[in-house]
Amino acid sequence: MPRLLVRRPSPRLADGELTHLDRVPVDADLALAQWRAYVDAFRSRGWDVVEIEPADAQPDGVFVEDAVVVFGDLAVLCRAGAGSRRGEAETVRAGVTASGIETADIVEPGTLDGGDVLKVGRVVYVGASARTNADGIAQLRALLEPRGWEVREIPVTKVLHLKSGVTALPDGTVIGYEPLVDDPALFPAFAGVPEEHGTAVVVLDEHTVLMSSDAPETADAHRARGLDVVTVDVSEFEKLEGCVTCLSVRVRD
């Protein structure tokens, strides 16, 4: 059974870090309701949901994907590019350790945010962004290449993280809103989507993706490909440069 690691949003969510967007009001109560609906979308499809200890003092703590990335039987615990987010790591470590997964750490001076990591088969695309530096990418490569993964560095200058601009469909096609992608040609198979909030999908299974409800044209395009599409409202997280991928860590058997 696949597992989902999540953490409920902090009451201080509205104070989260912003890089490319202007700050607008965030409704903490609505965010909590949206988060619960997001979690229920996985639970109703057979996922085992594991809640990591709350971190109410950490406004960005709900974005657990940035703290750890799972590669099969190895969990890489990240070192956040934003100093304000480094307090999230230890509670995430406890949740991962409880799941019985081997762990490794990105250490100073390296920085790595999980939102900069996109896995397509055994290829790992890593965004060289404002949050992930060359040393962090080199450490990740040293951990993964002996295990049979190929790490490819991708420039990211137009969005916060690589996965703010691109994700991948079940068949490995990388999708993104082209104005937000530095170089689509770096991906062997790339397909543009018509809406900014259509860039992010979570693969639920080989026929199903989960995505934001704020991209109906993109959802229709995925259905035209023969995919089942599950949509969830994540508007309050999108205001903070979040998306459907960063609200969870997916651990697959």
Q: What is the 3-state secondary structure (H, E, C) of 41-86?
A: HHHCCCCEEEECCCCCCCCCCCCHHHCEEEECCEEEECCCCCHHHH
Average pLDDT, the chain: 95
Q: For position 253, what pLDDT does the model report?
A: 61
CATH number at residue 120: 3.75.10.10
The domain tally of the chain equals 1
Tokens of 158: 């137009």
**Among this protein's residues, is 246 annotated catalytic?**
yes
Which residue among 78, 197, 243, 246 is the active-site one?
A: 246
161 is catalytic: yes
What are the angstrom distances between the C-alpha of 214 and each of 6, 64, 170, 198, 233? 22, 22, 21, 7, 7
Say which amino acid occupies 8: R
Lowest mean pLDDT across 87-91, 110-114, 145-149, 184-188: 87-91
Q: What angle do CA 231, 88, 149 make, to 5 degrees?
A: 70
238 three-class SS: helix
Among 81, 144, 141, which residue's Cα sits nearest to residue 108? 81
Higher pLDDT, residue 18 or 143: 143
* Tens of pLDDT, residues 11-50: 999 998 878 888 889 999 999 999 999 999 999 999 999 9
Q: What is the pLDDT of residue 40?
A: 98
Residue 9: in which H helix or E strand, if any?
none
**The one catalytic residue among 20, 78, 161, 207:** 161
Domain that holds residue 147: 3-251
User: Pick from 238, 248, 235, 72: which is nearest to 160 by CA?
Assistant: 238
